[in-house]
Structure 1
Amino acid sequence: MKLFKLLIVFFILSFQACSSQIEKINGVSFVASREALKKVHVKPVTSVNANYAAVMPFGFIKNLNHPEIVHNTDRQWFGETRAGAKQYIEVLREQQIKIMLKPQIWVWHGEFTGYIEMKDETNWKLLEDSYTSFIMEYALLAQEVNAEIFCIGTELEKFIVNRPKYWNNLIAKIKNIYKGKLTYAANWDEFKRTPFWSDLDFIGVDAYFPVSESKTPTVEDCLNGWKEHKPVIKALSSTFKKPILFTEFGYRSVDYAGKEPWKSDRSMNQVNLEAQTNTTKALFETFWNEDWFAGGFVWKWFVNHNKVGGLDNTQFTPQNKPVETVLREQFIKF
């Protein structure tokens, strides 16, 4: 009997140790809305077994060469503002959802933020001042609400390449007021060149890697596609001794979902739920068991769950699609 009890204790301790080793950041990218967040809006998040949400207030720029970031104004949707982000976080916290605060920039007409680049020194200085005002406002909020992770920027490669000293100084300023974990959301083809990973806690990657040329890729197709990218990602983690965090991941429910996953082209309008499901399954299978991989945030999750996504939807959201079941089953494992 004594031996039996010892075996039971050993089993429990072993199970707890294994569980602690494989726990991941199972996150959703929570899209800002016009309205305040309510408990009913969070229930679908917990139902999919997510333990994190990325809360994403926004700043706006007129064009790629414009230095002024407009943010936290009464012309924005509530969820895009400081007050809205704080209210979202408070409601998510009540349901035991942890937080990555991820302020982002939107360029007019949806132009790619990685191409933001000023034409002269004067405008670079103006952009730096404007970005500092924007990001420090939310660094202060991150500290105020004790956000577990703060993301210092999203897909801003030309800004970083042209002004590396600014970013080093900015990170130091953020660390003076925010005491949680830091990351930066580098685009999938940018992360290898990001110069300041040693100063952050996670190597953040928006994981829109091409993994298959097929109209309806199989899981095996995508697993093979990841063989090109995974060693590069792992090597960077090893070099900097930092875990990889997919600050965004996901696929549209369209034909050729794994070919150019970053595209939001309206001409891609052929619904393909199987393509979205298979690409997502392969991503989980490739990364979620790795000890150097921290987890990630699926792109993207809307407030009013019952009114979005669905079987005729071609966009990224997993809501009310077969891939939502994939998320639920994978997240509960970790």
Structure 2
Amino acid sequence: MVGAQWGDDTGMEERVERQGTSRRGLLRMGAGLAGIGLLPGCAGAAGTGPWRGVNLVATPEAPLGSDACGRSLRNLRALGANAVALIPFLWQPAPGDPAIVPGDAVGPADLRAGIRQARGLGLRVMVKPHVWVPQTWAGAIGFTDPADQAEWLRRYRAILLDLAELAAAEGAEALAIGTELRGVSADPAWGGIIDAVRDRYGGIVTYVAHWDGELARLSFRDRLDVAAISLYPPLGDGTDLEAAIAALAGDLSRQGPLWVGELGLRSAVGAQERPWESAEERDAHPDGGLQARVLDLWLAALTRHGMDDVLVWRWFSDPDAGGPQDTDFTIQGKPAEAVLRRHFQN
């Protein structure tokens, strides 16, 4: 899962300096105008108002930009969604190994095609990179050697700046500079990373913090246009889901302006106890009703507290994904689709 297509920072600073401030100004202006539909090809983009949509994960049988992906996005649009997060995966071999590289599943050409396709269907787009670490997750990334952390941040910065330039050029309305990187998000280097991103990208800049306390530890929250959170807190044994979710939503509403960058759980028996748990971690019988009920309660509670910007986890580019016997996070072909339709079309 390697590739030189992203993050080659050889001569990057020199290239940017030669291009000058006029290049940076054009990128900012281009992204801003695209976001309000004033650039050619952008008239179909969704307008103002809350972001209501999903995180879309590309599958090999339905790459971004393909006819199959187009059908999947049209199905999503029919539910009333107006936004989608497109996810380029990055990869590193272990949590303490700084050798982060781009994954090979969604390259620049695929991402460009996906942004154009989604925006052409009237969906706002967030470019939202995730780091894939074998046998664990992005929140496990951390370093005992400061030199290793500095090297990781240097590599990550180079990849992110390439993504920022691509997002600006294609008119993506938002860019997440990271997702659940709780082991490195306190590093002061993020201030410089955000400055460099803003030199290349003029849209909404956010970061998706882990639900369990990362938001309070962010070293750079005040540098973002809006902070976001991934929302998978445990909900107990399920005997009083409504009360548990109402209390959590109330707590979130007291943490300032906030987007929900991820919200979901599996369509599986017992999924409310550990909503972050994947199908690979635990076998379980399907329970689409539980998934639908939890999402319904969350969306209603968040709306009551004025938190209307929500991207559900997840939706696949394959229009045939999911279904009643599937026990993963996708909501496709499950009762949760009707829940989204009811909330998103209000």
Q: TM-score, normalised by structure 2?
A: 0.80
Q: Distance in 2 between matches of 1:273 and 1:42?
A: 21
Q: Distance in 2 between matches of 1:117 and 1:328?
A: 40
Contact (CA 8 Å) 1:29, 1:301: kept in 2 or not? Answer: yes
What is the RMSD of the two structures over their aligned residues, measured on CA atoms? 1.7
Post-superposition offset of 1:230: 2.4
Give 3-state SS (helix, strand or coil) of 2:152's partner. Answer: helix
Contact (CA 8 Å) 2:98, 2:148: kept in 1 or not? Answer: yes
Instruction: Please state if 1:173 is matched with 2:188.
Output: no
Post-superposition offset of 1:184: 0.6
**Residues 215-258 of structure 1 deviation map (CA, whole Å, 9 limit, x = unaligned):** xx5xxx22200243223311211xxxxx2111011121111222
Post-superposition offset of 1:268: 3.4
Give 3-state SS (helix, strand or coil) of 2:266's partner. Answer: coil
Post-superposition offset of 1:192: 2.9
Instruction: Please state if 1:235 is matched with 2:274.
Output: no
Post-superposition offset of 1:296: 1.1
What letter matches 2:342 in structure 1? Answer: E
Post-superposition offset of 1:155: 0.5
Q: 1:62 to 1:167 in 2, by over 3 A?
A: same
More helix by share: 1
Aligned residue in 2 for 1:47: 78
Q: Distance in 2 between matches of 1:112 and 1:248?
A: 15
**Residues 109-136 of structure 1 deviation map (CA, whole Å, 9 limit, x = unaligned):** 3x12112112312212211111111111
Post-superposition offset of 1:265: 4.8
Aligned residue in 1 for 2:319: 305
Contact (CA 8 Å) 1:257, 1:279: kept in 2 or not? Answer: no
State percent identity of aligned pairs. 27
Contact (CA 8 Å) 1:244, 1:294: kept in 2 or not? Answer: no
Instruction: Please state if 1:83 is matched with 2:109.
Output: yes
Contact (CA 8 Å) 1:58, 1:81: kept in 2 or not? Answer: no
What letter matches 1:225 in structure 2? Answer: A
* Unaligned ranges ≥5, structure 2: 1-47
* Deviates most, 258-267 or 322-331: 258-267
Give 3-state SS (helix, strand or coil) of 1:305's partner. Answer: coil
Give 3-state SS (helix, strand or coil) of 2:309's partner. Answer: strand
Q: Distance in 1 between matches of 2:303 and 2:51?
A: 10
**Count of residues in Structure 1 that have an aligned counterpart in Structure 2:** 292
* Unaligned ranges ≥5, structure 1: 1-21, 238-242
**Residues 170-196 of structure 1 deviation map (CA, whole Å, 9 limit, x = unaligned):** 111111211111111111102232232
Give 3-state SS (helix, strand or coil) of 1:236's partner. Answer: coil
Aligned residue in 2 for 1:328: 341
Alignment of 1:66-215 (within 5 A): 66-71=97-102, 76-77=104-105, 80-109=106-135, 111-161=136-186, 163=187, 165-189=188-212, 190-214=214-238
Aligned residue in 2 for 1:11: none
Q: Distance in 2 between matches of 1:123 and 1:193?
A: 21
Q: Distance in 1 between matches of 2:308 and 2:171?
A: 19
* Deviates most, 317-326 or 228-237: 228-237
Instruction: Please state if 1:222 is matched with 2:222.
Output: no
What letter matches 2:205 in structure 1? Answer: L
**Residues 64-95 of structure 1 deviation map (CA, whole Å, 9 limit, x = unaligned):** 011011116xxx12xx2121111101111111
What letter matches 2:343 in structure 1? Answer: Q
Contact (CA 8 Å) 2:58, 2:64: kept in 1 or not? Answer: no
Structure label with greater radius of gyration: 1
Alignment of 1:245-256 (within 5 A): 245-256=259-270
Aligned residue in 2 for 1:5: none
Aligned residue in 2 for 1:286: 301
Q: 1:268 to 1:228 in 2, by over 3 A?
A: farther
* Deviates most, 114-123 or 35-44: 35-44
Q: Distance in 1 between matches of 2:49 and 2:146?
A: 46
Aligned residue in 2 for 1:57: 88
What letter matches 1:116 in structure 2? Answer: I
* Deviates most, 167-176 or 266-275: 266-275
Instruction: Please state if 1:275 is matched with 2:290.
Output: yes
